[in-house]
Amino acid sequence: MSQPEPLPAPRAKTVLYRNGSVYTAADPFATAMVVDGGTVAWVGSEQAATSIADSSMEIIDLRGALVAPGFVDSHIHLTETGIALDSLRLGGIRSARELLDAVAAVPGDGPVLGHGWDETAWPDSSLPTAAELERASAGRPVYLSRVDVHSALISESLADAVGVRQLDGFDGGARVRRAAHTAARQATRRQPEEALKRHQARALTEAAANGYVAVAEMGSPHIGGAEDLRLAGAWNSGTPEVLPYWGELASSEEHARSLLDQFGFGVRGLAGDLNIDGSVGSRTAALRSGYSDAPEEQGSLYLSVDEAAAHLAACSLAGVQGGFHVIGDAGLDAALAALELAAKEVGEQRVRAAGHRFEHVEMVDSAAVEVLSRYAVTVSAQPSFDAAWGGPGGLYEQRLGKRSRSMNPFATLYAAGVPVCFGSDSPVTPLRPWSSVRACLEHYNEDERISARAAFLGHTRAGWRAAKYADPMAGQLVPGAPASFAVWEVEELMVQVADGRVQSWSTDPRARTPLLPALDTGSDPMCLQTVRNGVELYASPALRS
């Protein structure tokens, strides 16, 4: 007797979104979209949607909501973000006394972890001592990362347990930088695998709830180690896609390949937080001349030009992305000199073809812009840095004086043809993509503002391109593209176009440009749903109510 034919696998339901607005290059007037499995099958008008709707579809009435390509965060730290979300949040602290009170109020008998303090926003920038932290925590180890995560405050017991007193970056107080900070942070990150996975899941859940469909995880030995990146790379369903990078120095083509092969999955490159220098806030970004508020300090260079050049040459020969964390002007000088040396060794074409990327790149002059453009280096920047620290009296001005005026020159980079993508560097700034888009529009230096459309593309399609993603249709909503998008409740939709150096808004449909949310309403759009490749990652109860 013959065996019955197996039943076909159940087919994913077709979903029709209608009665809203769809951000698509296929039709600037689109109000509806059909998703078939993991693919966008159709976009078009409300009238056409009525004719194709049938009982086999799930029909979602958008009620005026916006459907747009999902956001890509081009620089994130998942474990650090999860820890920060579930530990002391110190962004609102305004004095050493308030910080100590917050530590004292933490219940339990385990380590006290916190993130986000910024002494430049305090009326009195004096920091607590290690002994004061020890008393406030009743002897529990204390690790409180500064907002930029390039320095931290630690208690006496943690300092003793880690042995930081003999390391570079320990000056006898509670604050640790450089090697001392790395040792203290790693001590607090030695957690069981299940705990690390919980932290990463917390971060990915937060990302999905804010419209992200992908995140570029920047792993490195000095942050979480190889096991942390292995855990991050294992998330592959029901979460935003993780685009993993590993920030470890390669000395040859063979070495570069071996560093990637150790993971057993598709690490996208040896880039990210391979630090050439540190941060402006912790005064570890490498500067050509001293900090305005500490002239004797010029930051730290963690790699030599020769080491950086060997790394870029090795990655270029291996055909993989290389790159660095670089913020200060002297740090960027070193990175660009390394590019030139690598090109002399392996050829300019190989360097360009590898698609290298530099993270942050905050202090850029015209000569640097020319070199970045010539070698097609992608700049992965964080607009919310400018929103948080730019402008009169901000951290940049305190640390850099007049030099702060030229920080984060987005318009200059765009005008020169330098590829730019955007991220949060979470937990440094929150996973709030529309706030980041707004930061591009409201850059404190008006000459460096970019249009809403450019900013939105930098947060979406450019993120896929920067990661050299295989599907060229990723990051757009057109027939045949991956169904990776978010649905947003918005107050008003508008078109923004550049008029010289003035940003002008229009609701005129003749502009034939897809509509984006008006971001001058005082609040961000609310995420109603996030979908990746047709799989729902997040849904607000309001979506189907």
**pLDDT tens digits, 449-487:** 999 999 999 999 999 999 999 999 999 999 999 999 999
Would you give the distance in Å from CA 351 to the centre of its chain?
24
**Quick one: pLDDT at residue 294?**
96
**Quick one: pLDDT at residue 367?**
97
Q: Which of 444, 458, 439, 316 is nearest to 380 (CA)?
A: 458
- For residues 8 and 445, the model is more confident at 445
The share of the chain scoring above pLDDT 70, in percent, equals: 94
DSSP 364-427: --HHHHHHHHHTTPEEEE-HHHHHHH-STTSHHHHHHGGGGGGBS-HHHHHHTT--EEE--TBT
**Quick one: pLDDT at residue 500?**
40
Domains and CATH numbers, the chain: 193-466 (3.20.20.140)
What lies within 8 Å, CB to CB, of 302 at 6+ separation is 275, 276, 277, 278
The share of the chain scoring above pLDDT 90, in percent, equals: 86
Q: What is the pLDDT of residues 221-247, one digit of tens each?
A: 999 899 999 999 999 889 999 999 999
Q: Which of 29, 4, 5, 18 is nearest to 514 (CA)?
A: 29
Q: Which of 158, 153, 150 is nearest to 179 (CA)?
A: 150
- For residues 1 and 71, the model is more confident at 71
What lies within 8 Å, CB to CB, of 259 at 6+ separation is 246, 248, 250, 270
Say how far apart CA 139 and CA 456 lie, in whole Å.
48
Extract the tokens encoding 196: 């690390």
Res. 506 pLDDT band, cuts 50 70 90:
very low
The reply to whether omega before 427 is within 30° of 0 (cis) is: yes
Dihedral of CA atoms 474, 479, 480, 483 in degrees, nearest 10, equals 50
| Side-chain half-sphere exposure of 430, counting CA atoms within 13 A | 13
Does 386 score more than 80 pLDDT?
yes
**Quick one: pLDDT at residue 512?**
56
**Quick one: pLDDT at residue 5?**
46
Q: Which residues pair with 503 in a beta bridge?
A: 498
**pLDDT, average across residues 77-106:** 95
- For residues 495 and 334, the model is more confident at 334
**pLDDT, average across residues 349-373:** 97
What are the φ and ψ backbone dihedral angles of 448, each rounded to 5 degrees?
A: -105, 10
Q: What is the pLDDT of residues 173-190, one digit of tens each?
A: 999 999 999 999 988 888
**pLDDT, average across residues 369-377:** 97
| 225 torsion bin: left (phi>0), alpha (psi -120 to 50), beta (else) | left
**Quick one: pLDDT at residue 143?**
94
DSSP 428-440: TS-S-HHHHHHHH
For the chain, give the number of residues: 545
Mean pLDDT of the chain: 92
Does 495 score more than 80 pLDDT?
no
Q: What is the pLDDT of residues 287-314, one digit of tens each?
A: 999 999 999 999 999 999 999 999 999 9
